[in-house]
Amino acid sequence: MNDAHFDVVVVGAGPAGLAAAREAASAGARVAVLDDNPRAGGQVWRYGPAHSPSKALTAHLQAIGAIGATDTNDSNARVTLLQSTRVVAPLDGRRLLIESAENGGARIGYERLILATGARERLLPFDGWTLPGVTGAGGLQALIKGGVPVRGERIVIAGSGPLLLASLATARAAGARVVAVVEQASRASVMRFGASLAATPAKLRQAAQLTRGFAGLRYLTSGVVRAAQGDGRVERALIERANGRIVSIDCDRIACGYGLVPNATLAQALGCAMDGDAAILVDDSQRTSVDYVFAAGECTGVGGMELAHVEGRLAGLHAAGVGNQTLVDALVKERERWRHFARCVETAFALRDFARVMPSDETLLCRCEDVSIGEVRMHANWRDAKLHTRCGMGACQGRVCGAAAQTLFGWQVAQTRPPISPARIGTLMLAADTQTAAD
């Protein structure tokens, strides 16, 4: 695989990435798809021992397979799928330094690059959030789909946005007893959003299927988790309502996530322009400010699976140079419809001030390096906090605590210095070999 070259390289194998790869390959391009998960599908189509692949994912993989796909570097293959592979750094000459769990480091070249790197969950610390049994709302879904048993467990799902409902459905299907869903948005805001779903019947049906009318659980609006308590493991959640009332709920697990944050680190390292929400800026063809780089899906702004899918198709068509204007026009119209829906979600579930209340100074902000809120609070910005406390310098490279610091302190925490993910020394030496050859 080292120094293999493709017409199009797609980073990310979720709905946007697979749609992009499918369109580009159908147009005749030789395509490579990289993803750091062992199976294609991204977060929304994640599957595992306890969760079968979705029909949508199966259809995409079958279509890509029909075009001609392989998981190795076959020069005759139209699509090369590289799973358990992460990008370490961009290199000169339209190349990426990559590392796979199986084959180690390599370099891969491209004519056009499509970023479909998705988004990650925003976790906001609260007292006791490091207790065993506390996860993100999306993290709960990933654990269940990966085979973690939750049958019979009492679960509180909290935070904000539609992801809570998806987590509710996944937990129920796995046999868990979801005792409460706690939404930080107000009841009025949630009701307005529910009424707006009439304009998108598919989403209305989906919401009804996910919630089942919230039967058998408490649905609390204007609430946030202030503390997780227990002796060595979660035993109860303390919920604060916007009116100051504290509600105690006995539970075995807390899944708490406050929406999603675009995964745009690679785009920043490539020099792509970003908007004020740290999402990748793209034009009508999904092209970034870097001419040969396209982007699609949640990394360009969180908008849901349907929007990610249509953006991926557009990115794939334009990256492959396809001139089917009728198809492009239809996809642009569909994209605008789902962008309108995304704006409705953003408005309804925008984080309120009381959800941004700082936890106690003793609460950890950076779990990787055991750095507390109090230690970080002493510094003026993210850079100073990193230099003096090692906050954000652990295994997750600030992906969790950085997003929390941006939300709680209002700091800019963009990280563009490679490597953008942990890598072996041997992999990093390949980058050094590239520089030596250039010199």
Over the stretch 271-298, which tens digit does the pLDDT of each residue have?
999 987 789 999 999 999 999 999 999 9
Give the pLDDT confidence of 161-203 residue by residue, as tens digits.
999 999 999 999 999 999 999 999 999 999 998 888 877 777 7
The DSSP 8-state label assigned to residue 195 in this structure reads H
Structure tokens given for 208: 């009804």
Residues in CB range of 69: below 8 A, 6 or more apart? 61, 77, 78, 79, 80, 81
Among 85-94, 240-249, 374-383, 406-415, the minimum mean pLDDT is found in 406-415
Give the pLDDT confidence of 255-272 residue by residue, as tens digits.
999 999 999 999 999 999
**Together in a domain, 248 and 265:** no
CA distance 27 to 244: 58
| 238 beta partners | 227, 248
pLDDT for the residue 434: 59
Specify if 351 maps to a domain: no
Residue 146: which pLDDT band, with cuts at 50, 70 and 90? confident
pLDDT for the residue 286: 98
CA distance 303 to 306: 8
Query: Which residue's entry shows tokens 């610390």?
Result: 125
Specify if 327 maps to a domain: yes
pLDDT for the residue 81: 92
**Together in a domain, 294 and 242:** no
Q: In terms of pLDDT, which residue wins out, 217 or 227?
A: 227
Residue 61 pLDDT exceeds 90: no
Residue 320 pLDDT exceeds 80: yes
CA dihedral 226, 232, 233, 238 (to 10 degrees): -20
Selection from 313, 306, 347 nearest residue 203 by Cα: 306
pLDDT for the residue 76: 58
Average pLDDT over the chain, rounded to an integer: 90
Three-state SS at 221: coil
The DSSP 8-state label assigned to residue 352 in this structure reads P
Residue 64: which pLDDT band, with cuts at 50, 70 and 90? confident
Look up the pTM and report it: 0.91
Residue 299 near residue 263, CB atoms below 8 Å:
yes
Give the pLDDT confidence of 343-401 residue by residue, as tens digits.
999 999 999 999 999 999 999 999 999 999 999 999 999 999 999 999 998 888 888 99
CA dihedral 271, 264, 91, 18 (to 10 degrees): -120
Q: How many CB atoms lie within 10 A of CB 109?
A: 15
- What is the domain range of residue 127? 123-258
Buried (b) or exposed (e) across 90-108, using 16+ Cβ within 10 A? Answer: bbeebbbbbbbeeeebbbb
| 294 beta partners | 114, 287
**Together in a domain, 242 and 127:** yes
Residue 439 pLDDT exceeds 70: no
**Together in a domain, 138 and 193:** yes
Specify if 385 maps to a domain: yes
Q: In terms of pLDDT, which residue wins out, 31 or 55?
A: 31
| DSSP code per residue over 256-298 | EEE-EEE--HHHHHHT--B-TTSPBP--TTSB-SSTTEEE-GG
Say how many Å lie between the first and final Cα of the chain, rounded: 24
Q: Is 245 exposed, middle or buried (0-12, 13-18, 19+ CB in 10 A)?
A: exposed
Q: In terms of pLDDT, which residue wins out, 346 or 73?
A: 346
Give the pLDDT confidence of 1-13 residue by residue, as tens digits.
678 999 999 999 9
Helix (H) / strand (E) element for 158: namely strand 154-160
Structure tokens given for 130: 């490091």
Specify if 20 maps to a domain: yes
pLDDT for the residue 329: 94
Max CA pair span of the chain: 67
CA distance 394 to 411: 19
Pairing of strands 85-91, 95-100: antiparallel
What percent of the chain has a predicted confidence (pLDDT) above 70? Answer: 93
Residue 356 near residue 328, CB atoms below 8 Å:
no
| Cis before 125 (ω within 30) | no
Specify if 420 maps to a domain: yes
Residue 74 pLDDT exceeds 60: no
List the alpha helices (DSSP H) in 49-120.
55-68
**Together in a domain, 271 and 251:** no
Residue 122 near residue 406, CB atoms below 8 Å:
no
Specify if 372 maps to a domain: yes
Among residues 294, 314, 346, which one ends one of the domains? 346
Among residues 288, 311, 346, which one ends one of the domains? 346
Among residues 258, 285, 308, which one ends one of the domains? 258
pLDDT for the residue 291: 95
Structure tokens given for 404: 């929390």
What percent of the chain has a predicted confidence (pLDDT) above 90? Answer: 74
pLDDT for the residue 242: 92
Q: Rounded mean pLDDT of 328-334? A: 95
Specify if 89 maps to a domain: yes
Three-state SS at 220: strand
pLDDT for the residue 279: 93
pLDDT for the residue 136: 96
Residue 41: which pLDDT band, with cuts at 50, 70 and 90? confident
Q: Rounded mean pLDDT of 91-103? A: 93
**Together in a domain, 267 and 254:** no
pLDDT for the residue 70: 59
Structural domain count, the chain: 3
CA distance 4 to 351: 45
Residue 36 pLDDT exceeds 70: yes
CA dihedral 217, 219, 220, 224 (to 10 degrees): 80
Residue 69 pLDDT exceeds 90: no
pLDDT for the residue 155: 97
Q: What are phi and psi of 195, to 5 degrees?
A: -65, -35
Three-state SS at 161: coil
For residue 202, give the CATH number of its domain. 3.50.50.60
**Together in a domain, 275 and 375:** no
Query: Which residue's entry shows tokens 């959030």?
Result: 129
pLDDT for the residue 216: 75
Specify if 352 maps to a domain: no
